[in-house]
Amino acid sequence: VIHELYAQHWRDYELLDSGGFAKLERFGPHILHRPEPQALWQPVHNETYWKKADAVFTQKGSHSGTWDWRGKQARPANWHIQYHGPGYNLKFKLALTAFKHVGIFPEQAANWDFLYRRVTELKAITPVPKVLNLFAYTGGATLAARAAGADATHLDSVKQVVSWAAENLKLSSLDGARWIVEDAAKFVQREVRRGSKYQGIILDPPSFGHGAGGERWKLEDMLDGLLADVGKLLDPAGATLILNCYSLGLSPLVLERVVQARCGALAKHVEIGELYIAEKTGRKLPTGVYARF
């Protein structure tokens, strides 16, 4: 079965409309208009509706390749939003970054809920499950793991997003995560050599990326090798894994096959599917594919 999954518990986030290669979203008090390569259809609402945006991420000049945010008045500075998951609450700092991102991938809340639940279950095996969050960005999954009482390790190759995640942990009234700025593949190889074991591993790799030392990351070339190491780090007595990919080209069945090949008996009941955002118009905006157990 290929599932369709979306985050059901947001109050501070809404996808208002999408189309014409753009999306209109509300993050707490602010409405943002951003590019969305997958929205090849027409928007449901008219131009006047889209003018509600407080800031639009657009190309600066007609010919220059540089993009920036343009606001109605001053562009919003940093602000906070909350996520009320089943059994836990998180708080995030948001900001308009130069790369169109704002510090959160709201669809991932469906995976945070799953992780929170799985960590709670894994306490039957070990009182403080160890969770490793790779490509961890601003830390949604790290926060959910800590909220559930896990010993959480957060890794990203970009120092600034790791500090951002640390701020989010504090904002959420949580503490005690381990922060690592490194290339994901390198760290995982070292952990295999050390014989480390984890009860939970989350990976949300980009299509292309760079390690902290400039190491090249290309999803299709490196996913299988990374999962081979990840499989060795998972506790055979019981573990959870969440793999999410934004790459447009990978199908859920590809993830299923790689995960089953590399995680052995643990992956017997792997759930696979497509993640989407439930738009206010009643339509679906696909955001990526996932495999988890």
Ligand X SMILES: C[S@@+](CC[C@H](N)C(=O)[O-])C[C@H]1O[C@@H](n2cnc3c(N)ncnc32)[C@H](O)[C@@H]1O
Q: Is 274 in the site for ligand X (CB under 6 A)?
A: no
The minimum distance between CB 125 and ligand X, in angstroms, equals 25
Q: Which residues contact 111 (CB under 8 A, 6 or more apart)?
A: 141, 202, 242, 244, 275, 290, 292
One character per residue 106-125, x = contact with ligand X (rule: CB under 6 A): --x-----------------
Q: Is 229 in the site for ligand X (CB under 6 A)?
A: no
Among candidate residues 116, 110, 103, 209, the one with its CA nearest the CA of residue 164: 103
Q: What angle do CA 17, 9, 70 make, to 5 degrees?
A: 40
Query: Which alpha helices (DSSP H) does the chain contain, by range?
Result: 47-50, 109-122, 140-147, 159-171, 184-194, 219-233, 252-263
The minimum distance between CB 275 and ligand X, in angstroms, equals 10
Q: Which residues contact 42 (CB under 8 A, 6 or more apart)?
A: 19, 20
The minimum distance between CB 93 and ligand X, in angstroms, equals 13
Q: Which stretch binds ligand X (CB under 6 A): 18-26, 115-123, 153-161, 192-200?
A: 153-161
Among candidate residues 3, 1, 2, 5, the one with its CA nearest the CA of residue 275: 5
Q: Is 200 in the site for ligand X (CB under 6 A)?
A: no
Rounded to an integer, what distance in angstroms lies between the CA atom of residue 245 and that of residue 122?
25
- With CB under 6 A as the contact rule, the residue among 13, 50, 114, 137 that binds ligand X is 137
Backbone dihedral angles phi then psi of residue 292, each to the nearest 5 degrees: -155, 155
Q: Is 135 in the site for ligand X (CB under 6 A)?
A: yes
Q: Which stretch binds ligand X (CB under 6 A): 57-65, 121-129, 206-214, 275-283?
A: 206-214
- With CB under 6 A as the contact rule, the residue among 157, 168, 199, 287 that binds ligand X is 157
Joined tokens for residue 178: 């381990």
The minimum distance between CB 155 and ligand X, in angstroms, equals 6
Among candidate residues 277, 266, 274, the one with its CA nearest the CA of residue 2: 274
- CB-based closest residue to ligand X: 209
DSSP reduced 3-state for 253 = helix
The minimum distance between CB 256 and ligand X, in angstroms, equals 20
Q: Is 211 in the site for ligand X (CB under 6 A)?
A: yes
- With CB under 6 A as the contact rule, the residue among 215, 254, 278, 280 that binds ligand X is 215
Residue whose CB is less far from ligand X, 30 or 154: 154
One character per residue 180-199, x = contact with ligand X (rule: CB under 6 A): ---xx---------------
The residue length of the chain stands at 293
Joined tokens for residue 266: 């643990």
Q: Is 287 in the site for ligand X (CB under 6 A)?
A: no
Q: Which stretch binds ligand X (CB under 6 A): 57-65, 118-126, 143-151, 205-213?
A: 205-213
Q: Which stretch binds ligand X (CB under 6 A): 51-59, 155-163, 168-176, 227-235?
A: 155-163
Beta bridge partners of 82: 91
b (16+ CB within 10 A) / e for 18-32: bbeebbbbbbbebbb
Residues in touch with ligand X (CB under 6 A): 105, 108, 135, 137-138, 140, 156-158, 161, 183-184, 204, 206, 209-211, 215, 217, 246
